[in-house]
Amino acid sequence: MHSSCQKTILVTGGAGFLGSHLCDRLLREGHKVISLDNFHTGSRLNHRHQASNPDFELIEADVADPLPDLRIDEIYHLACPASPPHYQESPVTTLRTSLLGTLNALNLAMQTGARILLASTSEVYGDPLVHPQREDYWGNVNSFGERACYDEGKRAAEALFHAHAAERGVDIRIARIFNTYGPRMQPDDGRVVSNFVVEALQGLPITIYGDGSQTRSFCYVDDLVEGLVRLMASDVRTPVNLGNPGEFSVSELAAMVVAMTGSQSSISHLPLPSDDPRRRRPDISKAQLLLDWKPAFSLEAGLGPTIAYFRDVVSSQDRPSLQPVA
Ligand code: NAD
Ligand code: UDP
């Protein structure tokens, strides 16, 4: 499709897990897509199938450095490491990406008159004292701990969005994304679903941090991308939760992964990282009401294609990076 409604859309962090699926979706809709990425946690392989598409362009750049002068209609601002081991590797880099990168993306939106969507996170709720989490809950976040570089970086990014909308008229959208998983996560990403699946497929012990009673809500990537696209198209200028309200303990997830992979893996327990949230589940009534969106994939339905993807990766390659990071 090359219709009059073809847009030019920038996806920062387009080479990452969510970004590459979003690029696919936008290209399928007939738009021109520019991915801007520095490959910090993303991979060139995620763009391999898009490289020959004339509507696709890749700019290798750090979003925290001055950005090129682009003429674009929309910006999906996703650039930021998302997995705790990665964002904690260099907290200064993570904060630089969230603060300067978001400022740059907002300035570009202002210059070119683009609508801009922030990939914010359920981490803005921290270790929540309210359950499930609604958008009007202000959160319980440690500003001085291991997760602060990510959590406070995203909270500041939301504040930057609010300030640019209020003072400079930028047309903003904010998605608070809850744990999302699926094909194209890096095998060494370090988040729980990819770790457990890679461990199970390799017959390694499944590494549960703490006693495994902490809960998360896991959203399949296709559902999440649908939510992002609907939010961008909407007129909702306040934060919206996007996630799957099904809530599972980490132990329940481990048991499901072991059963679905047919693995002989044992369970091993490692210390719980500091400030690890106890419970997390989105209240998605705002997205249901205003975006007519709710997830279609159950955890079991989403784990199927995810396991199939990692089975291919694990069997076709034998590289040290396949070891999940703790
Ligand atoms: P990811 O690590 O796979 O993708 C992040 C992408 O951003 C990578 O391609 C990385 O190379 C790129 N990047 C990082 N720093 C950059 C910089 N300074 N300049 C340019 N590119 C940079 O993670 P993901 O899961 O795809 O997450 C994408 C976004 O969604 C992130 O902003 C993350 O905070 C947010 N989010 C994700 C989840 C989730 O569960 N997947 C949950 C909440 C929020
Ligand atoms: N986790 C785990 N084993 C792993 C990786 C993570 O038990 O190999 C736990 C982690 O401590 C947390 C939950 O799984 O309680 C989700 O972790 P993840 O890093 O995926 O996301 P986040 O904590 O940012 O929600």
Distance CA 193, CA 144 (A): 27
- CB of 17 within 6 A of ligand 1: the answer is yes
CA of 191 to the centre of ligand 2 (A): 6
Distance CA 158, CA 34 (A): 23
Q: With a threshold of 0.95, does the pTM exceed it?
A: yes
CA of 19 to the centre of ligand 1 (A): 7
For a substitution probing ligand 2, which of 133, 209, 281 has the most ligand atoms within 8 Å of its CB? 209
Distance CA 224, CA 82 (A): 15
- How large is the average pLDDT for residues 42-61? 96
Backbone angles phi, psi at 230, to 5 degrees: -65, -40
Q: How confident is the model at residue 324 (pLDDT cuts 50, 70, 90)?
A: low
- Quick check: is 125 catalytic? no
For a substitution probing ligand 2, which of 123, 191, 214 has the most ligand atoms within 8 Å of its CB? 191
- How large is the average pLDDT for residues 113-134? 98
- CB of 176 within 6 A of ligand 2: the answer is no
**DSSP result, 223-238:** HHHHHHHHHHHS---S
Question: Which tokens hold the place of 3?
Answer: 């219709």
- How large is the average pLDDT for residues 289-313? 98
Q: pLDDT (tens digit, 9 = 90+) per residue, 215-243?
A: 999 999 999 999 999 999 999 999 999 99
Q: How confident is the model at residue 316 (pLDDT cuts 50, 70, 90)?
A: confident
Q: What's residue 145's pLDDT?
A: 97
Q: What's residue 70's pLDDT?
A: 97
Q: What's residue 320's pLDDT?
A: 44
- CB of 63 within 6 A of ligand 1: the answer is yes
Query: Which atom of ligand 2 lies at the shortest distance from residue 326's CA?
Result: 8
| DSSP structure class, residue 66 | P
Tell the residue number behind the tokens 């296709």, with chain if given: 222
CA of 19 to the centre of ligand 2 (A): 21
Question: Which tokens hold the place of 221?
Answer: 């990537």
- CB of 208 within 6 A of ligand 2: the answer is yes
CA of 3 to the centre of ligand 2 (A): 43
CA of 33 to the centre of ligand 1 (A): 17
Beta bridge partners, 32, equal 8
In this predicted structure, the answer to whether residue 1 has a pLDDT above a threshold of 50 is no
**DSSP result, 6-66:** --EEEEETTTSHHHHHHHHHHHHTT-EEEEEE--SS--GGGGGGGTT-TTEEEEE--TTSP
For a substitution probing ligand 2, which of 83, 89, 192 has the most ligand atoms within 8 Å of its CB? 192
**What fold does the segment set 8-181+219-244+280-297 form as a domain?**
Rossmann fold (3.40.50)
Angle at 290 between CA 171 and CA 227, to 5 degrees: 75
Distance CA 300, CA 312 (A): 19
Q: What's residue 222's pLDDT?
A: 98
Q: What's residue 27's pLDDT?
A: 98
Q: What's residue 318's pLDDT?
A: 54
Distance CA 18, CA 185 (A): 8
Q: Which amino acid is at 34?
A: I
**282: alpha, beta or left? (left if phi > 0; alpha if psi -120 to 50):** beta
Q: What's residue 326's pLDDT?
A: 43
Q: pLDDT (tens digit, 9 = 90+) per residue, 78-97?
A: 999 999 999 999 999 999 99
Least distant ligand from the CA of 18: 1
In this predicted structure, the answer to whether residue 255 has a pLDDT above a threshold of 70 is yes
Least distant ligand from the CA of 273: 2
Pick the catalytic residue from 76, 87, 125, 150: 150
- What percent of the chain is predicted at pLDDT more than 70? 96
In this predicted structure, the answer to whether residue 325 has a pLDDT above a threshold of 50 is no
Q: pLDDT (tens digit, 9 = 90+) per residue, 141-178?
A: 999 999 999 999 999 999 999 999 999 999 999 999 99
Q: pLDDT (tens digit, 9 = 90+) per residue, 13-37?
A: 999 999 999 999 999 999 999 999 9
Tell the residue number behind the tokens 């300067």, with chain if given: 100
CA distances from 86 to 81, 144, 145, 158 (A): 6, 18, 15, 21
Query: Which atom of ligand 2 lies at the shortest distance from residue 191's CA?
Result: 20
